């Protein structure tokens, strides 16, 4: 479903951020992307969405090369929660943002609204439905961004720090919701307990290279490996 083949990337004249990165994610897999600040997690996600261009190597989403011509098709398959939700919401209200995807997929207004209401109920955030995107809190914005992606029901879900800024209760709601999703998921986070709860496999990125790729339990229990790459054991294992 997702394939990176010998991908390297540098921001303009800067040092390479990703170096000869290769991995594959099969349909239905739930994969955690971990690594220290600046390791390249968000860059990897932005490349997959075609938000950055100029990488060498090949990136495929559901067999389609990520390139300018294919962006529309790829964005239709892929829902994403960016690390900074401010860059994500572009309609005036939470409701309009959530309706945008389903309506774009030719659902009727009633069907789209039904979907929106189901997601809002699931995330326990009906109260935010008609709020203005610029007049809600940081955590509420994060919930709204997640809700928007869920309403799209995309084939691939990318989430960059989905639980940052969330209170414990909303964090738990998001974890439970992610666990129920059967789609292909790639989730970048420093919340390693959340990764443990939601992912079967983990990719550890360090200085733009893959330092490990394996079962989540195994990697997240490996204190030596984590510490070598400026991470710590999840709270559950420490």
Q: What is the binding site for Mg ion (CB under 5 A)?
A: 41-42, 83
Scanning the structure block, which residue is given the tokens 């900074």?
84
The option from Mg ion, ligand ATP, none interacting with 35 (CB < 5 to 8 A, set by class) reads ligand ATP
Q: Closest CB to Mg ion among 41 and 75?
A: 41
Q: Closest CB to ligand ATP among 14 and 69?
A: 14
Site string for ligand ATP, 78-97 (x = CB under 6 A): -----x--------------
CA angle 204, 25, 190 (to 5 degrees): 30
Strand partners, 2: 25, 61
The option from Mg ion, ligand ATP, none interacting with 37 (CB < 5 to 8 A, set by class) reads ligand ATP
Total site size for ligand ATP, rule CB under 6 A: 12
| Beta carbons within 10 angstroms of residue 217's beta carbon | 14
The option from ligand ATP, Mg ion, none interacting with 40 (CB < 5 to 8 A, set by class) reads ligand ATP
The option from ligand ATP, Mg ion, none interacting with 17 (CB < 5 to 8 A, set by class) reads ligand ATP
Site string for ligand ATP, 38-77 (x = CB under 6 A): xxxxxx----------------------------------
- Contacts of residue 212, defined as CB under 8 A and 6 or more positions apart, other chains included, come to 202, 203, 204, 219, 222, 225
Pairing of β 64-65 and β 184-188: unpaired
Site for ligand ATP in 121-180 (CB under 6 A): none
- Name the strands in the sheet holding 209-215, side by side, starting at the edge strand that comes first in the sequence: 78-81, 156-160, 184-188, 30-34, 201-206, 209-215
Among 3, 25, 31, 35, binds ligand ATP (CB under 6 A): 35
Quote the CA–CA distance of 201 and 217 in Å, as a whole number: 8
Please answer whether residues 66 and 60 qualify as being in contact, where contact means their C-beta atoms are separated by less than 8 angstroms: yes
Q: Which residues bind ligand ATP (CB under 6 A)?
A: 11, 14, 17, 35, 37-43, 83
């Amino acid at each position: 479903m997702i394939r990176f083949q010998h991908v390297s990337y540098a921001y303009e004249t800067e040092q390479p951020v990703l170096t000869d990165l290769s991995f594959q994610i099969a349909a239905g897999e739930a994969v955690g992307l971990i690594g220290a600040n600046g390791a390249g997690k968000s860059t990897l996600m932005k490349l997959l969405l075609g938000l950055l261009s100029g990488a060498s190597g090949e990136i495929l989403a559901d067999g389609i090369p990520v390139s300018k011509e294919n962006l529309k098709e790829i964005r239709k398959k892929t829902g994403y929660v960016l690390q900074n939700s401010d860059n994500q919401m572009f309609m005036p209200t939470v409701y309009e943002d959530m309706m945008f995807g389903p309506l774009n997929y030719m659902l009727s207004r009633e069907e789209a609204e039904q979907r929106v209401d189901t997601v809002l109920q699931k995330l326990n955030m009906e109260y935010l439905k008609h709020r203005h995107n610029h007049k809600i809190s940081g955590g509420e914005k994060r919930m709204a961004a997640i809700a928007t992606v869920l309403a799209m029901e995309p084939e691939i879900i990318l989430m960059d720090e989905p639980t940052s800024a969330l209170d414990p209760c909303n964090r738990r709601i998001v974890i439970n919701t992610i666990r129920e999703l059967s789609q292909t998921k790639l989730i970048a986070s420093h919340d390693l307990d959340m990764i443990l709860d939601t992912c079967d496999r983990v990719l550890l990125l360090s200085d733009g290279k893959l330092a490990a790729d394996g079962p989540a339990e195994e990697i997240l229990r490996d204190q030596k490996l984590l510490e070598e790459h400026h991470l710590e054991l999840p709270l559950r294992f420490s």
